[in-house]
Structure 1
Amino acid sequence: MVEPLAADLAVYFYSILFTRYPLLRDMFPPGMDVQRGRLLRALLHIVDLVDDPEGLQRFCSHLGRDHRKFGTESAHYDAVGECLLAALARFAGPAWSPEAARAWTLAYTAVAQVMTQAAEQDARVRPAVWGARIVHRQDFSHGIAAITVQPDQPYHYAAGQYVSMETPWWPREWRYFSPANAPRPDGTLTFHIRALPTGWVSNALVRRAVLGDVVRLGPPMGDMVLDPGSSRDILCVAGGTGLAPIRALVEESARSGNRRKMDVFVGARTSDELYGLDDMLRFAQRNHWLNVRAAVSDEDILGLNGSLPEVLAEFGPWHRYDAYLSGPAPMVTAAADLLTRTGVPRSRIRHDPLDVPVLSVS
């Protein structure tokens, strides 16, 4: 009942939160549009997971660990819960019965408890944020840059995960990017970043950042990692800068000595936008277990033409594969639907949460 009014609910929620607890305002960015959207997506995702206790526990634990970078403390959860329930009550109208209020109070209390416990456990073993100095950059066409950073402390992550980043030019504006490499001995991470027209953070990184600038990294997140217990072949699908985590998975597979067959499909609108393809093809030439294919959707050229889901349908079958998808949310959704229809269980299709794809507005 509330979802059609979700945007207004988010505005109301933050309005009463900052009115009742003005000291919390400094924890948020000046522009609240992206933050309001994240709140709504998190709430909807929690409701979607209500019958999946393991998935809900994992998601809320991720949230708790990630919120440490904002300076979130246990007391803040009480303030947020109070204002969230007030906002729900206002917008649910007559549907906000005593039973609904009790259910949401219990639900929020459980979520806050999981987040708090995860944050406390995380604080015992690692920092909330890492400073990271830019040590190298490579510019591609179409406003894409590969930016390599050196964290000031050891940064442990798994290939395929994503990382939140804050720049010095837009304090408290955190955006998600995926490392394009498996963990390296020297600890550096390389990110593929596209400057989007409305992307404050991405434009700052691509157009403004130079060697020596320092950004901040939040903890790694995401479950799109290789399953060490699987012996199945691997299908990877990358749209645009979704190539970054897929490239990291390929590196990890090679480094671990895993020689499962790996089929990688890389897509873009035009051939000029297929950045980094030569590097992937050279990698495939050195590794017989890796096949790399490229497709374009908006240009008629020699080779594969069409969207990535359309191209996937021409190959296969994929029902014996583990699938990893990265890129724009519509592509990921369409590819996942195609694979499901052709016999791949949903449990073997992995991708980032659709609200933080590597091509989201950043």
Structure 2
Amino acid sequence: MGNLSHLLQESWTVVAEQQEKLAGYFYARIFLSNPHLRDLFPVQMDVQRARLLGAIVTAVRTLDAPEQLDVYLRGLGRDHRKFEVAPEQYAVVGDALLESLRIFGGERWTPEFDQAWRDAYGLIAQKMIDAAEADADTNPPYWVAEVLSHERRGRDVAVLTALPGRKLEYRPGQYVSVECPAHQPRLWRVYSIANAPRRDHTLEFHVRALSTGWVSGMMVRRVRPGDLLRLAAPMGSMTMDRDSTRDIVFVAGSTGLAPIKALLEELTRYNRTRWVHLFFGGGTREDLYDLPELRAIAARHPWVSLVPACSRDAGFEGEHGDVSEIVGRYGPWDRHDFYVAGSSGMVRATLRTLAALNVPADRIRYDAFGAVQ
């Protein structure tokens, strides 16, 4: 895999500066050669344009980590069942990808680069197809869930509870793609499930409305109890390592709290030996929308230590500054497992802090959410 990975990384530098144009050409080739596939995608393609291409690039960048790649591709294959993708359609995508790379690679694109991408995509596609076929034996392409409650937590945050018509199996820390066909058909966005599995099978989602987010704004401002959501297969590997005996540090930024809260809820059901330190940060106290419940959890479980923080709220009675910096004021952390969730910027800053503290990378699990949700 080493030489293949090297060729892929080297070849991507040839087209990276043109990736937005490449993505546009990529989808145009798919739709021109197979117009019926257009119905699988949203009317507004501005957000979607880079998603499929981004998933492929993410996969090729993890070729040197076989276990991580396998988990990612299995999840991706299961997730794509929501589009009811047929195996032969993977070849259509592969042809469009290779043609796009050749066009934008120009004279710098070599036969070696071409073969490397052909081999890598073949591996990716086959793993996704195998995962989708295996999943079809036990699960539907997507779950339909009814919104039971919708609670606004401030100006731009909502907490939703939904009940799938069929039990959805997942692990705390995972996320699902969500669509609301009544309001934004064919627009799917990923949201973490904010609770550990419950006996009543309900799922909780924490959503922040972003200025550029078609789906997030709809989920916060328009969704009401009784609305139906579609949920794709669970994905993500930021799950609890039950074999570890190390104490735990959770670092959550705003609605990045969702997967952290699910992990914390899981721990409350069995943990007796591991100390948990939870750092919850936001710009203002309004961003700490779930702080009362977190304080209640900490009061019930003495092994939970809660540190709330605000970076732009001078009157806040707690820590002041970015949560990524504040975690560095505590410690030492050399014998802890870390779970980090929030915006991509917050996660990157936290990883830099942990690297400076010499926390081993294999003890850090994280989910970084992009600018548009």
Q: What's the TM-score bracket when you normalise by the shorter of the two chains?
A: over 0.9
Question: What's the secondary structure of 1:220's corresponding residue?
Answer: coil
Give the conservation status (yes or no) of the 8 Å contact 2:175–2:193: yes
Structure 1 residue 99: Cα displacement: 2.3
Q: Could you list the per-position Cα deviations for residues 122-143 of structure 1 after superposition, in whole angstroms to 9, with x for gaps in the alignment?
A: 1111111000001112221122
5 Å matches for 1:65-214?
65-168=78-181, 169-214=183-228
- Aligned partner letter, 2:134: Q
Q: Percent identity?
A: 44
Match for residue 287 of structure 2 among 270, 273, 293: 273
5 Å matches for 1:306-321?
306-321=321-336
Question: What's the secondary structure of 1:221's corresponding residue?
Answer: coil
Structure 1 residue 258: Cα displacement: 4.3
Which deviates further from its counterpart, 270-279 or 73-82?
A: 270-279
Give the conservation status (yes or no) of the 8 Å contact 2:60–2:120: no
Match for residue 56 of structure 2 among 43, 49, 53: 43
Q: Could you list the per-position Cα deviations for residues 196-225 of structure 1 after superposition, in whole angstroms to 9, with x for gaps in the alignment?
A: 222221222221111111111011111111
**Structure-1 separation of matches of 2:115 and 2:277:** 50
- Structure 2 counterpart of 1:361: 372
Which deviates further from its counterpart, 297-306 or 117-126?
A: 297-306
Structure 1 residue 64: Cα displacement: 0.9
Q: Which runs of 5+ in 1 are unaligned?
A: none
**Structure-2 separation of matches of 1:64 and 1:150:** 24
Give the conservation status (yes or no) of the 8 Å contact 1:6–1:40: no
- Structure 1 counterpart of 2:266: 252
- Aligned partner letter, 2:142: V
Which deviates further from its counterpart, 200-209 or 276-285?
A: 200-209
Instruction: Tell me the matched-pair count.
Output: 358
Alignment of 1:229 with 2:243, yes or no, is: yes
Give the conservation status (yes or no) of the 8 Å contact 1:295–1:308: yes
**Structure-1 separation of matches of 2:230 and 2:173:** 20
- Aligned partner letter, 2:260: I
TM-score, with structure 1 as normaliser: 0.96
Question: What's the secondary structure of 1:146's corresponding residue?
Answer: strand
**Structure-2 separation of matches of 1:6 and 1:258:** 49
- Aligned partner letter, 1:209: V
Give the conservation status (yes or no) of the 8 Å contact 2:150–2:223: no
**Structure-1 separation of matches of 2:67 and 2:32:** 36
Q: Could you list the per-position Cα deviations for residues 244-299 of structure 1 after superposition, in whole angstroms to 9, with x for gaps in the alignment?
A: 11111111001123441000000010123211101101110111100111010112
TM-score, with structure 2 as normaliser: 0.93
Give the conservation status (yes or no) of the 8 Å contact 1:224–1:324: yes
Structure 1 residue 37: Cα displacement: 2.1
- Structure 1 counterpart of 2:40: 27
Give the conservation status (yes or no) of the 8 Å contact 2:307–2:318: no
- Aligned partner letter, 1:284: A
Structure 1 residue 91: Cα displacement: 0.7
**Structure-1 separation of matches of 2:271 and 2:279:** 22
Structure 1 residue 73: Cα displacement: 0.9
- Structure 2 counterpart of 1:325: 340
**Structure-2 separation of matches of 1:254 and 1:4:** 47
Structure 1 residue 110: Cα displacement: 1.1
- Aligned partner letter, 2:35: P
**Structure-1 separation of matches of 2:334 and 2:57:** 30
- Structure 2 counterpart of 1:215: 229
Structure 1 residue 93: Cα displacement: 1.1
- Aligned partner letter, 2:337: D
Q: Which runs of 5+ in 2 are unaligned?
A: 1-13
Alignment of 1:61 with 2:74, yes or no, is: yes
**Structure-1 separation of matches of 2:228 and 2:352:** 40
Question: What's the secondary structure of 1:160's corresponding residue?
Answer: coil
Give the conservation status (yes or no) of the 8 Å contact 2:79–2:232: yes
- Aligned partner letter, 2:355: T
**Structure-2 separation of matches of 1:49 and 1:342:** 25
Give the conservation status (yes or no) of the 8 Å contact 1:233–1:322: yes
Question: What's the secondary structure of 2:306's corresponding residue?
Answer: strand
Moved over 3 A (4+): none
**Structure-2 separation of matches of 1:88 and 1:286:** 56
- Structure 2 counterpart of 1:347: 362
Structure 1 residue 194: Cα displacement: 1.3
Give the conservation status (yes or no) of the 8 Å contact 2:71–2:237: no
